Chains A and B, each alone.
Chain A
């Protein structure tokens, strides 16, 4: 049906009737490449939404979210590890915890999966669009972020607050890599306002801002050759001021400046030195290989490119490169940063060999409808979509990873143990969430909050070092939950010990109880005069 505008009446007989599609704004009409992008993004979402939830981390976030919601306050000390009672807890991820809990309250585990897959898809989309805009080629847009996949994927498998930080990091870097825009005055502080309450990695964002300020100052100085020009450079001034605003935004958290202090203390925590992601990067590890590979790619691209490397790019690469060598977990930020640095250089190099063709195809509403339909279909047939739209809830077993000790936790729910229990570190969060109410887990993923003596005790027991049974007794532990695969030596020792009786065994785990009246022989514990000093 065609409509005739009132303007097209008899007074304007020579003007053609305007089709409704042409009267629509351009942003509502997509190009054909945009449809391809939607397909790629939709498939990314669909794949991520199909992944089962990992058995660590997210469960503790849920538990804390639940606690915060129920108590209408933030925890002041560690709540779910009785052996760490009284240890101060600065909850830098409280907003993430509430988000996870909100998602779970709204749609159960599918809500978590939706939140996880949407966040990761948003990260992927940001990387993809940025690369596409810079290079102007679909294949390069797909290729450039994909080179960083070996670094990114291991850090993104687990739904945790860090992912929200990663998304905001990507947005910040994207802003930093583009020309200054007026909206940055509130966008950047807004990013930090959210980030500081979502995850402690906002410090990484402040480091990016620092690189931008110093980098632009160096570039201004290099261009003019005068130090005074740095102060007059509008770009440097803007970045300096927006950095100040961002720092002020970072103070808008429940702890104020105290949050900074506690995060620096966390970085120095001794317990974390035993965790792989807090250790220096090993070149032999998958992360290390990925990191070296990315440096090789960067080197090759920089050799080919005739585009000047800016001081900001240099500072960012050097700063984050050093951070990666110090802490393996920094490879996430490196993997997110590098595509932004690579893209313009790749674009310049490729453009020289094969000049870019401007897109000549038109925009049409049909493309938009097609993209929307594809997007809807992929969402509707993703597991969260099936659950929410078609109300087809799935079994717990199919929603969580196959390494999740469901049967072990079910046994503990049926036979709640008294007192603290020993269990694998990786299972702590799951047991705290899914296990019986008031279960006293020895450890959760909050390792930095665990007193060092408890952490050493955990290691001593896991490695069945001499006196491991005495250590268990000192902790008041009468129930052991053992990972059959990773804690084989402990399992053997328990099976051989007369003091312990295996009361449950399933595919993944074993539960053992201390036999009444039995316990470790205490040759070191009886003699007043033989007892040695405590460890100081």
Chain B
């Protein structure tokens, strides 16, 4: 008859086996986790797209000066609108200064957006903070125009971050929330964690990822979904051209940004890079077909020739919105994707005329639309608008 092992021996053997098994498994799990969630490599300052064109035919110095003077951020005595400030800041930059006392400087605009006491002094005591900072959640308040406290909120998801990045603010910039001092980096990390590819708005998220994570090949959100620029590019190309914020033009801007980023850092797979270029080229061809005789584009631009059937109901302001946005994304595109220069020049000239003919009230009411004209025309001359105005004044 076989002799049974002593109970203590069996007990000890099982414990040793259990400890070895669990220790090995923990090590294995850690290895898997590190593979699944690579460390974030954030760039301290945004790597912004560099305009590569200087086309005086599109807008001459005089025309540009006239347009920029009309579109300065004259917000000092007006009701503060966060969306307007964000738009102004992104094109005029954080270090801009103006001779016109009605204009807010870049530093003042940054202060309003990132310093809670400065922000709250512009609104009533009931206005909720722009940066919602609770122990559970760090987030930007986003609301529609007609929502309660809508004007004191950012309008689009991650738009605030994208605008600050484009203004030249770095990740080490201090942010004063209701309860503490944090850094822009904290809000960026939160935005990376919160990002949902299938949300309705993703254009500005795509932009901030491109600005601050140009070297990151893969990262994860708080649902552990693996994100890549490939995935974001596919998302940007998924929906119909004519839908989306500002008639789908922000998607095109984000795609153009990815093309430029890829040319520096190869963040896209070769196949997807080709697809993105083909998509942008196709849009470019559509723009040639849909351009109105006067040079502008209307809201039905994505319909090609049909957009010129005379049935379009776009107002001049609508056309400024569309044409400004189109010229802006085209300004950061490789030349082979752009429409012929003649089409671009016509569009630029139409924009100049349209802005000059706009009343001050219209500009004030639709400042966000007009701010893209600043961005577009400055890019096509490869200048920084505030710098251009101050240099121009010195020359004069």
Query: Which residues in A have some Cβ–Cβ distance to B below 8 Å?
Result: 76-77, 83, 85-88, 234, 237, 241, 244-245, 247-248, 251-252, 255-258, 261, 451, 453-454, 457, 470, 473-476, 517, 519-520, 522, 525-526, 528-536
Instruction: Using A86-B197, A531-B200 as known contacts, list a sample of 12 further A-B pairs with CB atoms less than 8 Å apart, ordered by residue number in A.
Output: A87-B226, A247-B18, A258-B28, A258-B33, A451-B198, A475-B238, A476-B238, A525-B248, A526-B245, A530-B145, A533-B157, A534-B157
Instruction: Tally chain B residues at the interface, Cβ within 8 Å.
Output: 61
| Best-surrounded residue of A76, A522, A532 (most CB of chain B within 10 A) | A532
Task: Please name all residues of chain B whose beta carbon is closer than 8 Å to the beta carbon of A251 when the two chains form the complex.
Answer: 21-22, 24-25
Task: Please name all residues of chain B whose beta carbon is closer than 8 Å to the beta carbon of A86 when the two chains form the complex.
Answer: 197, 225-228, 231
B15 interface residue (CB < 8 Å to A)? yes
B138 interface residue (CB < 8 Å to A)? no
Task: Please name all residues of chain B whose beta carbon is closer than 8 Å to the beta carbon of A87 when the two chains form the complex.
Answer: 223, 225-226
B242 interface residue (CB < 8 Å to A)? yes
Of residues 196 through 216 on chain B, the ones whose CB sits less than 8 Å from some CB of chain A are 196-202
B107 interface residue (CB < 8 Å to A)? no
Q: Mark B215-234, 1 if CB is under 8 A from A, else 0.
A: 00000000111111001001
Distance A229 CA – B26 CA, assembled complex (angstroms): 35
Distance A416 CA – B75 CA, assembled complex (angstroms): 55
Tell whether, in the assembled complex, residue B243 and residue A519 are in contact, meaning their CB atoms are under 8 Å apart. Answer: yes
Q: How far is the CB of B192 from chain A (nearest CB, A)?
A: 14
Task: Please name all residues of chain B whose beta carbon is closer than 8 Å to the beta carbon of A476 when the two chains form the complex.
Answer: 237-239
| Best-surrounded residue of A451, A473, A519, A529 (most CB of chain B within 10 A) | A529
Task: Please name all residues of chain A whose beta carbon is closer than 8 Å to the beta carbon of B157 when the two chains form the complex.
Answer: 533-534, 536
Tell whether, in the assembled complex, residue A245 and residue B226 are in contact, meaning their CB atoms are under 8 Å apart. Answer: no
Residue in chain B with minimal CB distance to A241: B14
Tell whether, in the assembled complex, residue B29 and residue A241 are in contact, meaning their CB atoms are under 8 Å apart. Answer: no
Tell whether, in the assembled complex, residue A525 and residue B243 are in contact, meaning their CB atoms are under 8 Å apart. Answer: yes
Residue in chain B with minimal CB distance to A519: B240
Tell whether, in the assembled complex, residue B29 and residue A256 are in contact, meaning their CB atoms are under 8 Å apart. Answer: yes
Distance A531 CA – B250 CA, assembled complex (angstroms): 13
With A86-B228, A88-B36, A256-B29 as contacts: A529 and B368 at CB distance below 8 Å: yes
Task: Please name all residues of chain A whose beta carbon is closer than 8 Å to the beta carbon of B226 when the two chains form the complex.
Answer: 77, 86-88
Q: Mark B1-16, 1 if CB is under 8 A from A, else 0.
A: 0000001001100110
With A87-B225, A528-B369, A531-B156 as contacts: A256 and B240 at CB distance below 8 Å: no
With A241-B11, A244-B15, A247-B18 as contacts: A533 and B144 at CB distance below 8 Å: yes
Q: How far is the CB of A218 from chain B (nearest CB, A)?
A: 21
Contact among B26, B145, B194, B247 for A529, CB-based, below 8 A: B145
Contact among B21, B33, B155, B156 for A248, CB-based, below 8 A: B21
6 closest A-B pairs by CB: A476-B238, A533-B142, A453-B198, A248-B21, A256-B25, A534-B199
Residue in chain B with minimal CB distance to A255: B32
Task: Please name all residues of chain B whose beta carbon is closer than 8 Å to the beta carbon of A245 when the two chains form the complex.
Answer: 14, 17-18
B139 interface residue (CB < 8 Å to A)? yes
Task: Please name all residues of chain B whose beta carbon is closer than 8 Å to the beta carbon of A77 when the two chains form the complex.
Answer: 226
Tell whether, in the assembled complex, residue B201 and residue A533 are in contact, meaning their CB atoms are under 8 Å apart. Answer: yes
Q: Mark B137-167, 1 if CB is under 8 A from A, else 0.
A: 0010011111100000001110000000000
Task: Please name all residues of chain B whose beta carbon is closer than 8 Å to the beta carbon of A517 when the two chains form the complex.
Answer: 303, 306
Tell whether, in the assembled complex, residue B144 and residue A532 are in contact, meaning their CB atoms are under 8 Å apart. Answer: yes
Q: How far is the CB of B274 from chain A (nearest CB, A)?
A: 16
Tell whether, in the assembled complex, residue A244 and residue B18 are in contact, meaning their CB atoms are under 8 Å apart. Answer: yes
Task: Please name all residues of chain A whose beta carbon is closer than 8 Å to the beta carbon of B15 when the two chains form the complex.
Answer: 244
B83 interface residue (CB < 8 Å to A)? yes
B339 interface residue (CB < 8 Å to A)? no
Task: Please name all residues of chain A whose beta carbon is closer than 8 Å to the beta carbon of B303 when the two chains form the complex.
Answer: 517
Tell whether, in the assembled complex, residue B245 and residue A451 are in contact, meaning their CB atoms are under 8 Å apart. Answer: no
Q: How far is the CB of A181 from chain B (nearest CB, A)?
A: 13
With A251-B21, A258-B33, A525-B245 as contacts: A88 and B225 at CB distance below 8 Å: yes
Residue in chain B with minimal CB distance to A252: B21
Task: Please name all residues of chain A whose beta carbon is closer than 8 Å to the beta carbon of B299 when the two chains form the complex.
Answer: 526
Tell whether, in the assembled complex, residue B243 and residue A453 are in contact, meaning their CB atoms are under 8 Å apart. Answer: no
B246 interface residue (CB < 8 Å to A)? yes
B321 interface residue (CB < 8 Å to A)? yes
27 contacts between A and B (CB under 8 A): A83-B198, A86-B227, A88-B224, A237-B7, A245-B17, A247-B18, A248-B22, A251-B22, A255-B29, A256-B24, A256-B32, A257-B26, A258-B29, A451-B198, A451-B225, A473-B239, A474-B239, A474-B243, A475-B198, A476-B237, A520-B243, A529-B368, A531-B201, A533-B142, A534-B157, A535-B200, A536-B142
Q: How far is the CB of B122 from chain A (nearest CB, A)?
A: 19
With A258-B29, A476-B239 as contacts: A451 and B18 at CB distance below 8 Å: no
Of residues 24 through 41 on chain B, the ones whose CB sits less than 8 Å from some CB of chain A are 24-26, 28-29, 32-33, 36
Task: Please name all residues of chain B whose beta carbon is closer than 8 Å to the beta carbon of A85 when the two chains form the complex.
Answer: 231, 234
Q: How far is the CB of A77 from chain B (nearest CB, A)?
A: 6
Distance A68 CA – B225 CA, assembled complex (angstroms): 21
Of residues 232 through 260 on chain B, the ones whose CB sits less than 8 Å from some CB of chain A are 234, 237-240, 242-248
Tell whether, in the assembled complex, residue B18 and residue A529 are in contact, meaning their CB atoms are under 8 Å apart. Answer: no
Tell whether, in the assembled complex, residue B231 and residue A536 are in contact, meaning their CB atoms are under 8 Å apart. Answer: no
Task: Please name all residues of chain A whose beta carbon is closer than 8 Å to the beta carbon of B246 when the two chains form the complex.
Answer: 526, 528
With A256-B25, A474-B239 as contacts: A453 and B199 at CB distance below 8 Å: yes
Q: How far is the CB of A411 from chain B (nearest CB, A)?
A: 24
Distance A342 CA – B125 CA, assembled complex (angstroms): 69
Contact among A248, A257, A453, A473 for B29, CB-based, below 8 A: A257
Task: Please name all residues of chain B whose beta carbon is closer than 8 Å to the beta carbon of A474 when the two chains form the complex.
Answer: 200, 238-239, 243
Distance A209 CA – B162 CA, assembled complex (angstroms): 54
Residue in chain B with minimal CB distance to A455: B198
Task: Please name all residues of chain B whose beta carbon is closer than 8 Å to the beta carbon of A257 when the two chains form the complex.
Answer: 22, 25-26, 28-29
